[in-house]
Structure 1
Amino acid sequence: MSSPAMSELRHRDGQATDKTNDEPPTSSGCVPPETVGIPQINEPPIPAQKDHVPTILKRLPQRWQNWVIRGFFSMLLILGFVLIIWMGPVALTLLVLLIEMMCFHEIISIGYAVYRSKDLPWFRSLSWYFLLCANYFVYGQSLKDYFGIVLHRDFEFLQFLIDYYRFISFILYIFGFIFFVLSLVKNYYLVQFTLFGWTHIGLLIVVSQSNLLTQTMFEGLIWFIISTLSVICNDIMAYMFGFFFGRTSLIKLSPKKTWEGFIGALFSTLVFAFFFAAILAPHPYLTCPAMFDSESHSFVMRCTPSSTFHLKEYHLPMILKDAFGILGFQLSTVTLYPAQLHAVVIAAFASLVGPFGGFFASGFKRAFKIKDFGDVIPGHGGIMDRFDCQFIMASFLYVYIFTFLKTANPQKLIQQLFQLPVEDQMTVYNSLQEHLVKSGAIEL
């Protein structure tokens, strides 16, 4: 039995409990200073994805709504990518820098929201300042290599920014480091140092990879195109095979990824890269390194193509001869571009290892209980959601090209020589002449 007094007590307790649960957070959004640490994450720090579904598609099931929207914007992205390739390596470099900054913005925004840092001074400003310093450091050598002549001739007053870029960027970083130390706030040290590390991890991911990607573009657009489109093809085909045939879950980090999608995408990407490389290989615009023409003030891709882009006859191994024999084809040799075999290796990495960049990003998002990095591209999420696999591909492509495909580039060396003082150029000239005479290549 319950008395009226007991009922009144329960009523008061319930009111007290509700008041406690509904009490708003402090104005800073953080726990009291004396208990500051890394706050618990109880809700997504980024707003839920906006509704981009047109009225005409709302009659379809949600699964098909996403399929149509994602497919439409995928086609727009591919068409835009083709247009920028046609504009040349400078436009592609600017695109990479834009994507880098947007990815960095999404990463920093997550840190800003997760750690409730709105009352901490200068977090966003310092993050972007460090991004500027990092880009100046990693792109300084590229500016010196590719724009050195025009800078020396037409913008001599800026030459010191290129000649001493390492020292200048280091000093700029030190200023940012000192300012960070001076901005430390008592009782918020742990959060501030966590955000400092967060910023530098973001820099490591986006700046270093974008710089590697830029360097590979200037060695020949073909490898950049094949690498990028292999990742895109793999992603699209994994989605298609998974959508129609997916039954077996591939990895717990991404429940929607299936073995059927993974295997179907692997074979589709290998076939795509093999034949697509044959289409691109005959075009010097795509296969020649980009060199700056000081007369036209533009980059040109003109050269004698290397052996990688000349047709070559290959003898098939016995196991392949037998396999073709079973199918009714009597083949003992095939004629291919060596570039096609390199394209298959790149596509294999994009299919087998590239998806783990996406799985890594999925784990990151699950750790912070967010659906997407952002909401820039309808049906896809944020920029980082689309380029998570491209970052790991950038490292592989750079290592692969400069290990197996890098060839001597006389034009680049000549441009570097033109930037030397006259006395140094004469030293090189005399040494080269002496060497050629000794080797019998020329006679005086």
Structure 2
Amino acid sequence: MAKSRNGVKFQHRGSNGRARRPSMSISEYSENASEPGSPTRNGALGKTDAETPAAPLQTEYEKKKQSFITRTVWTLIMLGGFFSALFAGHIYIIIIITAVQIISFKEVIAISQIPSKARSLRFTKSLNWYFLGTTMYFLYGESVVYYFKHVLLVTRLLTPLATHHRFLSFMLYIIGFVFFVASLQKGHYRFQFNQFAWTHMALFLIVGQAHFVINNVFEGLIWFFVPISLVVTNDIFAYLCGITFGRTPLIKISPKKTWEGFLGAWFFTIIWGVGVTQILSQYKYFICPVNDLGANVWTGLECTPNPVFVPQKFTVPFIPPGLPIPNTYTIKPVQFHVLALATFASLIAPFGGFFASGLKRTFKIKDFGDSIPGHGGMTDRMDCQFIMGTIAFFYYSSFIATHNTTVGGVIELAITGLTPEEQLDVVRILSKNLVAQELISPKILEYLNMQMKR
């Protein structure tokens, strides 16, 4: 070994006697190294790293303690923000969902980008965000038009946007598609098409599923809160049961998961689901579909409750007469549905987490990002929530929703399917019916008859 001083590089000789180039010199190794006699960054004259006392290293216990404190503080912050938004109104929950999907999309897109290529292809990131904006415009528009058509279709400015929403959304997408094809550069085709496919996968898995979560909010906050709480409960008890009873590995892609934790979490998730549903189903603020985005927990909502929230009598068969066991019980039908949702949260939703684990292993990363201190990325926390929200929406639509004619549906048919003269005739007939019930003045009907004669 050749000695060196004042920034001269060390040299190590191998078995062949040749000097091997070192990976770093003293001056490169230390940010505080300087020429003799010159001031260093910490203000000491002629002081090198060898003379500067090193900062004490944290012990493993101190690291775990700091991590626990950080996770706990941010968990409380997130819980406080979530429940504040839940009680403040539907619009604040929608804002949170929007922020979650944007952050998650950013994290998923980032892990597939090669920085050098992303910098040389200046439109790559812009196209990613353009497709995100286009998809959100389409999906949010679909929800708003469906649930608030009775407002949009009677506003002159918004009617064209509502009636032609899908065509406008598709044309916006086509603009991005054409721009992508025009931006293809020789030598970068593989990278650009990989980005195009990756972006669309992220849009489908994140933004598409977040759309159904927002629809759950519009259908009633109970269909938003209960699925979320089921996943959280399942995650907590899977961990507790796993460390307490876990012995049998569940799936190779996630080696810490055990069958004991999996089944134990299922049991406790059902118990939680039954309890929280019994409480929330008593309040119209949670069970009523949204008809006023300005409503909050203090103003409440008014509606005719869905039949699943009305208690009914159920008779248990196969109980022999004479036993001191009642065979008739009064139960809200929603309790049977929550058993199915709890089962989905326990047996299906975890596979969203397994999918995310496989994705991270593919790219050799621990977390999707560091958006939430102590918890990793937003995607790490929401991987199961997206798929659970989608399951809840389709289950609700198939087995719970009441498909009655709505005011918005009638107005949509009248505006899009009838001529102005036919619309006026419908109004006249409805007015005649209302006059007969003494709900409006006969003068209104006289005025409409005069308009029909013109």
Report the TM-score when normalising by structure 1.
0.76
Q: Is structure 2 residue 338 aligned with structure 1 residue 343?
A: yes
Q: Once structures 1 and 2 are overlaid, which stretch shifts more, 64-73 or 168-177?
A: 64-73
Q: Is structure 2 residue 94 aligned with structure 1 residue 98?
A: no
In the alignment, the residues of structure 2 paired with residue 372 and residue 293 of structure 1 have an alpha-carbon distance, to the nearest angstrom, of 36
- For structure 1, the 5+ residue unaligned runs are 1-6, 20-56, 436-444
Correspondent of 1:330 among 298, 318, 325: 325
* Equivalent position of 2:215 in the other structure: 215
* Equivalent position of 2:252 in the other structure: 252
* Equivalent position of 1:377 in the other structure: 372
- Sort the Cα spacing of 1:316 and 1:79 in 2 relative to 1 into closer, same or farther, 3 A: farther
- Sort the Cα spacing of 1:9 and 1:248 in 2 relative to 1 into closer, same or farther, 3 A: closer
How far the C-alpha of 1:419 sits from its partner, in A, is: 6.1
* Equivalent position of 1:160 in the other structure: 160
In the alignment, the residues of structure 2 paired with residue 397 and residue 261 of structure 1 have an alpha-carbon distance, to the nearest angstrom, of 23
Partner deviation per Cα, 1:115-149 (whole Å, 9 max, x = no partner): 85332231110000011111112222222234445
Q: Counting helix residues as a fraction of each chain, which structure ranks higher? A: 1
In the alignment, the residues of structure 1 paired with residue 116 and residue 349 of structure 2 have an alpha-carbon distance, to the nearest angstrom, of 30
In the alignment, the residues of structure 2 paired with residue 295 and residue 67 of structure 1 have an alpha-carbon distance, to the nearest angstrom, of 37
How far the C-alpha of 1:415 sits from its partner, in A, is: 6.0
- Sort the Cα spacing of 1:424 and 1:342 in 2 relative to 1 into closer, same or farther, 3 A: farther
How far the C-alpha of 1:422 sits from its partner, in A, is: 5.2
In the alignment, the residues of structure 2 paired with residue 427 and residue 369 of structure 1 have an alpha-carbon distance, to the nearest angstrom, of 67
* Equivalent position of 1:196 in the other structure: 196
* Equivalent position of 1:264 in the other structure: 264
Partner deviation per Cα, 1:265-324 (whole Å, 9 max, x = no partner): 11110000011111111211111111148999xx973112132111122223448x99xx
Q: Is structure 2 residue 236 aligned with structure 1 residue 236?
A: yes
In the alignment, the residues of structure 2 paired with residue 106 and residue 183 of structure 1 have an alpha-carbon distance, to the nearest angstrom, of 24
Structure 1 counterpart of 2:118, which letter? S
Q: Percent identity?
A: 39
How far the C-alpha of 1:390 sits from its partner, in A, is: 1.3
Report the TM-score when normalising by structure 2.
0.74
Higher relative CO (Cα under 8 Å, sequence separation at least 6) belongs to: 1
Structure 1 counterpart of 2:106, which letter? H
* Equivalent position of 2:33 in the other structure: none
In the alignment, the residues of structure 1 paired with residue 14 and residue 309 of structure 2 have an alpha-carbon distance, to the nearest angstrom, of 88
* Equivalent position of 1:410 in the other structure: 406
Correspondent of 1:353 among 348, 356, 363: 348
- Sort the Cα spacing of 1:302 and 1:8 in 2 relative to 1 into closer, same or farther, 3 A: closer
Matches within 5 A, 1:62-211: 66=67, 69-113=70-114, 116-151=117-152, 156-211=156-211
How far the C-alpha of 1:373 sits from its partner, in A, is: 0.5
Q: Once structures 1 and 2 are overlaid, which stretch shifts more, 80-89 or 409-418?
A: 409-418
Matches within 5 A, 1:233-312: 233-292=233-292, 301-312=301-312
In the alignment, the residues of structure 2 paired with residue 278 and residue 425 of structure 1 have an alpha-carbon distance, to the nearest angstrom, of 45
Structure number with greater Rg is: 2
- For structure 2, the 5+ residue unaligned runs are 1-12, 24-57, 434-454
The number of residues matched between the two structures is 384
How far the C-alpha of 1:9 sits from its partner, in A, is: 8.9
8 Å contact from structure 1 (residues 253, 363) kept in 2 = yes
Q: Once structures 1 and 2 are overlaid, which stretch shifts more, 333-342 or 264-273?
A: 333-342
* Equivalent position of 1:391 in the other structure: 386
- Sort the Cα spacing of 1:15 and 1:409 in 2 relative to 1 into closer, same or farther, 3 A: farther
- Sort the Cα spacing of 1:63 and 1:338 in 2 relative to 1 into closer, same or farther, 3 A: farther
Structure 1 counterpart of 2:89, which letter? G
In the alignment, the residues of structure 2 paired with residue 216 and residue 409 of structure 1 have an alpha-carbon distance, to the nearest angstrom, of 19
8 Å contact from structure 1 (residues 292, 300) kept in 2 = no
How far the C-alpha of 1:10 sits from its partner, in A, is: 2.5
In the alignment, the residues of structure 1 paired with residue 96 and residue 293 of structure 2 have an alpha-carbon distance, to the nearest angstrom, of 22
